[in-house]
A and B are shown apart, each in its own frame.
Chain A
Amino acid sequence: MTHDPLAALRAADPARRLRLDSIDPGAWEALRRGIVMSERPEERPAGQPAERPAAQTAGRPARRRRRLLWGGIVGAGVVGVVATAATVSGLPGFVGGQADGPNCLTAWGEPAEASGAWLTGDAIADCDTIRAAAGLPPIEDPAVFSFSGFTYVVPRSEVPPVVEILASSRVMTPGSLELEMSLGDWVDGGVTDECRSQDETVAWVEGEFDRLGLDDWSIETRGPGPESTDCTRAFVMERGRVMVAFRDGPAPAEAPGGVSPELSAAASSAAASSAASGGPGAGEPDPMDEVHRIIAALRNGIVDECVSLPEARAIADEALSGLEYEPTPTTSIVDESVDCARVDMRVGGNVQVTVYGPSAVG
């Protein structure tokens, strides 16, 4: 056995086993000629958009599809934005990322091996959990920095020299994270079959601000479009701003089975994402049934009862255990200021559940 691993690797060079010089020179010439005859950007007719060079589209995170699905469901705002090197430049090795969760990289300049939504708002802890769920170890000697609206966790040795390491890995406050979860919550939160008017949704969001101590947050409203219903919903536009907008499509009560188009679309996306990752496909149980089963279990076991955090967690774990695909890691947050546990569940690309509550019930 060779003691120098690089020597062994050199000996295993796949290209050395081939006679590359035996390739027909005419084939190379055909390729060269074809390329120089191809269109170049400066030769486009005026006003025609440029074709994006392949190099500029590189570096998308491996799970971009899933994140886009999620973003399409969670809201039309900034949540779920995915950028690529084509949209932001100026930082060597920048490969884009996701805005609705930490970007957990073992090497700067490489796509994330695993990605996910914010769980607790602590970037390092969330990366550890996301990676553990994917069977990966924690990032070694992690450091956190932000760039162009994205949060990255990378080994300290990989931090680009031009960025500043954050003093704290807590990027999102508990209140702002719970607000995002609550606005997108299917159990008893912002995503509901109820048809809430604009005034009702605004009042509900203001109540959430009060409950979560978000004094500096504001609400903006958007008028109805030509396809809008009378029903509204709210989503986070950016940190500190919530938009209340009218929903498109038939009112929930008119939708087949009384299910809102929003819920149906999200469930379809969850199914599509699941199928793309090897989950159930055609002929498998309707994912909408699964979602409704989980919602019912969480309502019956947590919302309609007064249970402790551990009990709520057990109910959530049991409800999610029947899923054919792996949900986003569930989060438990201790809140001793309340008597009973509460729960939020978001759906879109995946299912994410957070339970909050006291360690014991009086």
Chain B
Amino acid sequence: MLRLEKRPNPSQAWGYLAPILAVITTMIGGGVMFALLGKDPFEAIRTIFYDPLFSEFAWYYRPQLLIKGAPLILIAIGLSMGFRAGIWNIGAEGQYIIGAICGAGAALSVYPLDSVFIFPVMILFGAIGGFAWAMIPAILKTKFGTNEILVSLMLVYVAEQLLASMSLGLMKNPEGFGFPGSRNLQQYASAHNAELWTGTAIHMGVVFALISVIFAYIMLARHQMGFHIRLTGESPKAAKFAGVNPNKLVIYCLGFSGALAGLAGMFEVAGPSGQISIDFNVGYGFTAIIVAFLGRLNPFGIMLAGLLMALTYIGGEIAQSSLGLPSAAIQALQGMLLFFLLALDMLTNFKIKLAKAEVRI
């Protein structure tokens, strides 16, 4: 029989190895899944993980990596702070939607005014929108001890309904021939989150994602708040004795992740998506949870994990058109990745030992 023995300290080597092994096992597991669906497993895995980077049309797909990766990284960086301290914001999807509504709302309310101040104001409103939406679970948690997991998640469905209401009502394009959806911000120069350098797909959101990674790193490594977050995660009791205020931590972690999710939504609506519409949100807020874990809750890890997850999104789209793979297959694959990662994580904290057979009477 096998026996688990707790390591005195988590193994650093396995900390790095587990995510890599998880990706490899997911490729195998995903291959089996696709084979069961009647697709060629090697073809499918190659299309998803290799083609977007190195195929004939890679020049088109590579910039897409940044477009899809930026919101994932932005959201996951925020989530990772809370996850470290055991504060579970899983309603990032809702904060993303509200950020987009507030950001777009700021622009649409002054349309067609032309000013350089519009875009910065939109960024501010996007962040405030996401922040405010995240403050609902945060304040309920600190004031009444309400479970933040359930409240933040419920608010996703509320936000989705609000999004539907906005795209059918208040924000509907008056010149849209009755179609649902707002004016397209890509055609409103002052509000457009355009590429900073042509052909690179680097828009303001990508820049913010990079800044957030560096900010989070400094925060965790150098700032007292980061220390409190890490301390609470590793030993809540020690944190209590050290005088960490848990309420402050809840407000900070939820607020920070909400603001980043709101920013991600705002950059998306002003750039790649262009308009508020019923199907504006595509699940970045949920996928970011996987990104945060795959990146080991480490800012630079999250950056790599975000790009990898963006890769599977793009690869999934290619596989959908070339192999007829259902679009939801990628979601299942991403879920599978998290399973393997969580399973392999055991090796970071435990040693596997061969145990002698127990005495039986």
Do A and B pair up? The answer is no
> Which residues of A pack against B, CB within 8 Å?
none
